[in-house]
Chains A and B, each alone.
Chain A
Amino acid sequence: MQIEVLGLFLSEQTVSHVMMAIKIFVLINILLIITTMLTYAERRIVARMQNRIGPNRVGPFGVLQGFADLVKLVTKEDLIPSNADKIIFSLAPIMIMAPALMMFAVMPFSPNLVLADLDIGIFYVIAIASLGSLGVFAAGWASNSKYSLYGAVRGVAQLISYEIPLVLSVTAVVLLAGSLNLQDIVGAQKLPFIFVQPLAFVITLFAVAAELNRTPFDLNEADSEIVAGFHTEYSGTKFALIYGTEFLAAFGWSLVIALLFLGGWNPSFGGLFFLMIKTGSILFLFFWFRGTWPRVRIDQILAIAWKLMFPIATVNILITGAQILFVQQVFGIFPGEALSIQALSVISVMNIGLFVLLLFILPFNKGLSEFENQMRVHQKGIE
């Protein structure tokens, strides 16, 4: 009815713009509330793993703790270090937060519940998400602190490295679905792609962990080494933005993984409610990593990306392409046509076999980087 009322005064185009603005406003607010709740969730989950209770005072079971923290941070004095580059220092938190919010523009929560049904959806997500690293670098550089600079440089090196295996493993999914559109990818999952592409799933999971700076790849805010990395100097509202983005981006990427590999909103595997459960499971996995795993070193992190993930992801694309050609021949599917469930099952069986084989081949428990440690020792400075 409101639309009709608006239509009396405004042109059709303006009405659609106003409606879009309202949708964006609602989506962003929901996302920010989810973010605040996630900070609480992580603290509770990790506390359980650490024999602690966690926040349980504000609201029932402490669920409002995140909001209390937010109020506290927002009302704090806005400190800018005297030698910092004031403009970039203030701009950086926004540069970090904005891409994380923009990611959600193309996320399909259900067949209709999507802000922009973009044809290059997954491409857009990856492109926009990597913009965040610009903000990380800006924050580290503008702080004029050595800890921050180290965090920033590490962050950039890491993000550049992990973008590639991430894109390559997602490519395998895109090959199967035959589309970059997230709606089409979800629709193509007659069998969830985690079964069809287990390897791509694992690589994506770890590449995303690196992209999000989650443990074991949280090098750019390594708290035991460089205090808090790129956001060492931030406090108050700016810190709230950076800290919130960590969770917002984690939510966004978990949603992407749920869409790409776990069947998304696909009604045969649930719908919106189950999509949220899937997203939550991936998020829980990230929190679990955080609670249990130590951190890898900078040279090891790059070695894992370039020497392990990159070749495996590349070979995975080749194998997937060959498999698709094969099933198209066998089942008589025309190129461009969606793969049937039988075809997907055949690929699935092959890939799970290859995945198990790979687990046996990889030198686990010998220290993946034993060769790295030997390589690196050149005792400069000691004679």
Chain B
Amino acid sequence: MKDDFMDINDKSNPGMETVLLNLGPQHPSTHGVFRLRTLLDGEEVIDVEPIFGYLHRGSSKLAEERSYTQVITLTDRLDYLAGMSNNLAYINALEKLCGVEPPIRASYLRVIMVELMRIASHLMGIGFLINDLGAWVTPLMHMFREREKILDLFEMVCGARVTFSYMRLGGVSHDIPDQFKGELNTFLNDLTTKIQEYENLIIGNEIIISRMKGVAKLSGERAINSSVTGPNLRASGVDWDLRKSDPYEIYAQLEFDVPKGENGDNWDRMIVRIEEMKQSIYILRQCIESIPTGETRVETDFFVRPPVGEAYGMVEAPKGELGFYLVSDGTIAPYRCGIRSPSFINLTVLRELCVGWKLADIIVNFGTLDINVGEVDR
């Protein structure tokens, strides 16, 4: 590995002139404000260095100045494509800290919301990925259509479409309205056929196959060593899903598979996401059928004062393993709020995936990692 990235013109290799190209921060395919400093030999990638921090808002530090309830609103803005999952991860940690158990109906509602969020996030991931492949915005717009329906469902439940703050300590903020179940059922039926349609279009496309199969392979061992999580890890053939291996909420009672890839290439990373959406539909169907009636929230103080101590709560967010580490000093605000964001840690392998491939592959490899800059920079 080269020690100094900026050592561009390697005099030991005359005749080879390299180009330093900054992809971003103003670039159409960086999924936000993200910068990739790339060293290229013609079209071939010699080195890639991700540079980030353009979207840094200091969420961890801000959390120290806010009460435990107010921090929920900060978590919405981490991975803004999966607000519900972020809420849940934080609440998980907080409930461990306070020793509060949510009612069973609230647990079901949480799982419903989180799985819907996973579908929405994966739809965006695949849409942007194929957009990066060069299919102008058509796939993206179709994926948006489906995501919009999910956002409508969320709006029906909590009034917000992106920043939900739906999960609360000891439950959820609102119960679902009466027509929600029916709407959700209609949506799931619709989505099943739509996913089938997307699958036909994507899997049968010669260009997508040739651009993605066998490109940027990531071995399972390497993925574990870099602590890659989520669909990226499972695409490399590693069977690791927090919903199975460390079940939270009601996942232990639900039946579902954990889709895995074989080669860990771009193709597998995409297919795993499609399969996960199908599993989410399956989970949602079970939830609708077996959701009990009852309370959706246990009473807690408005200003929660957890006992002195610390807790780590983690969930399987759409992008990977999202963890919140909370330290309490007995006051109404956390003493420390650490965030383990999957997007940030999944970026570890970006350089390895890109080096040796072509300029066009950088964008695709970056797309299949499916990061969210809001979560990377926090």
Task: Write the residues of chain A forming the contact surface with B, with a CB cutoff of 8 angstroms.
Answer: 46, 49-52, 146-147, 150, 154, 215-216, 218-219, 222-227, 290-300, 364-370, 372-374, 376-383
Contact: A224 with B134, CB < 8 Å? yes
Contact: A51 with B207, CB < 8 Å? no
Closest A residue by C-beta to B351 = A382
Give the 6 A-B residue pairs with the shortest CB-CB distance, closest first. A295-B134, A294-B133, A367-B209, A50-B141, A294-B135, A373-B214
Contact: A150 with B359, CB < 8 Å? yes
CB-CB < 8 A to A368: which residues of B?
A: 206, 210
Contact: A373 with B135, CB < 8 Å? no
Contact among A227, A369, A376, A382 for B28, CB-based, below 8 A: A227
Closest A residue by C-beta to B39 = A381
Contact: A367 with B363, CB < 8 Å? no
Contact string against A for B residues 345-373, beta-carbon threshold 8 Å, 1 for contact and 0 otherwise? 00000001001111111010000000000
Grouping DSSP codes into helix (H, G, I), strand (E, B) and loop, the B interface class, with mixed when no group exceeds half, is: mixed
Contact: B211 with A292, CB < 8 Å? no
A50-B141, A381-B355 given as contacts; is B210 within 8 A of A367 (CB)? Answer: yes
Contact among A46, A372, A380 for B136, CB-based, below 8 A: A46
A292-B138, A365-B204 given as contacts; is B1 within 8 A of A383 (CB)? Answer: yes
Contact among A51, A296, A376, A382 for B211, CB-based, below 8 A: A296
CB-CB < 8 A to A215: which residues of B?
A: 134-136
CB-CB < 8 A to A146: which residues of B?
A: 19, 21
Contact: B210 with A225, CB < 8 Å? no
- 25 CB-based A-B contacts, threshold 8 Å: A51-B141, A215-B134, A222-B360, A225-B360, A226-B359, A291-B138, A292-B135, A292-B138, A295-B134, A296-B211, A297-B360, A297-B361, A298-B43, A298-B359, A364-B206, A368-B210, A370-B210, A377-B356, A377-B357, A378-B356, A379-B356, A380-B41, A380-B46, A381-B2, A382-B1
Q: Give 15 new A-B contacts, CB below 8 A, not counting A367-B213, A376-B357, A376-B358.
A: A49-B138, A50-B137, A51-B144, A52-B141, A224-B363, A225-B363, A293-B205, A294-B133, A294-B134, A294-B208, A294-B211, A298-B360, A299-B358, A367-B206, A368-B210
A294, B270: Cα distance in complex, Å: 15
Which of chain B's residues 99-148 have a Cβ closer than 8 Å to chain A? 130-138, 141-142, 144-145
Contact: B142 with A51, CB < 8 Å? yes
Closest B residue by C-beta to A154 = B43
A370, B141: Cα distance in complex, Å: 29
Chain B residues with a Cβ closer than 8 Å to the other chain, count:
45
CB-CB < 8 A to B138: which residues of A?
A: 46, 49-50, 291-292
CB-CB < 8 A to B131: which residues of A?
A: 224
Give chain A nearest CB distance to B298 CB in angstroms. Answer: 43
CB-CB < 8 A to B144: which residues of A?
A: 51
Q: Which residue among B204, B208, B358 has the maximum number of chain A CB atoms within 10 Å of its CB?
A: B358
Q: Tell me if B377 is interfacial: C-beta within 8 Å of chain A.
A: no
CB-CB < 8 A to B355: which residues of A?
A: 379-382
CB-CB < 8 A to A290: which residues of B?
A: 136
A380, B46: Cα distance in complex, Å: 7
CB-CB < 8 A to B145: which residues of A?
A: 51
Task: Write the residues of chain B forming the contact surface with A, with a CB cutoff of 8 angstroms.
Answer: 1-2, 19, 21, 27-29, 41, 43-44, 46-47, 130-138, 141-142, 144-145, 204-211, 213-215, 352, 355-361, 363
Contact: B214 with A294, CB < 8 Å? no
Q: Which residue among B142, B145, B210, B214 has the maximum number of chain A CB atoms within 10 Å of its CB?
A: B210
A51, B130: Cα distance in complex, Å: 17
Contact: A381 with B356, CB < 8 Å? yes
A46-B136, A50-B141, A290-B136 given as contacts; is B207 within 8 A of A296 (CB)? Answer: yes
CB-CB < 8 A to A365: which residues of B?
A: 204, 206, 209
Closest A residue by C-beta to B215 = A373
Give chain A nearest CB distance to B135 CB in angstroms. Answer: 4
Contact: A297 with B211, CB < 8 Å? yes
Give chain A nearest CB distance to B138 CB in angstroms. Answer: 5
CB-CB < 8 A to B142: which residues of A?
A: 50-51
Contact: A373 with B213, CB < 8 Å? yes
Give chain B nearest CB distance to A226 CB in angstroms. Answer: 8
Give chain A nearest CB distance to B29 CB in angstroms. Answer: 4
CB-CB < 8 A to B208: which residues of A?
A: 294
A50-B138, A224-B133 given as contacts; is B207 within 8 A of A295 (CB)? Answer: yes
A299, B44: Cα distance in complex, Å: 10
A138, B135: Cα distance in complex, Å: 27
Q: Which residue among B19, B131, B138, B356 has the maximum number of chain A CB atoms within 10 Å of its CB?
A: B138
Contact: B1 with A293, CB < 8 Å? no
A224-B28, A225-B29, A379-B356 given as contacts; is B213 within 8 A of A295 (CB)? Answer: no
CB-CB < 8 A to A216: which residues of B?
A: 134, 207
Give chain A nearest CB distance to B264 CB in angstroms. Answer: 14
A323, B28: Cα distance in complex, Å: 51
CB-CB < 8 A to B213: which residues of A?
A: 367, 370, 373
Contact: A297 with B358, CB < 8 Å? yes
A373, B360: Cα distance in complex, Å: 13
Closest A residue by C-beta to B207 = A294
CB-CB < 8 A to A150: which residues of B?
A: 21, 43, 359
CB-CB < 8 A to A379: which residues of B?
A: 355-356
CB-CB < 8 A to B210: which residues of A?
A: 296, 300, 367-370, 372-373
A379, B352: Cα distance in complex, Å: 9
Give chain A nearest CB distance to B189 CB in angstroms. Answer: 20
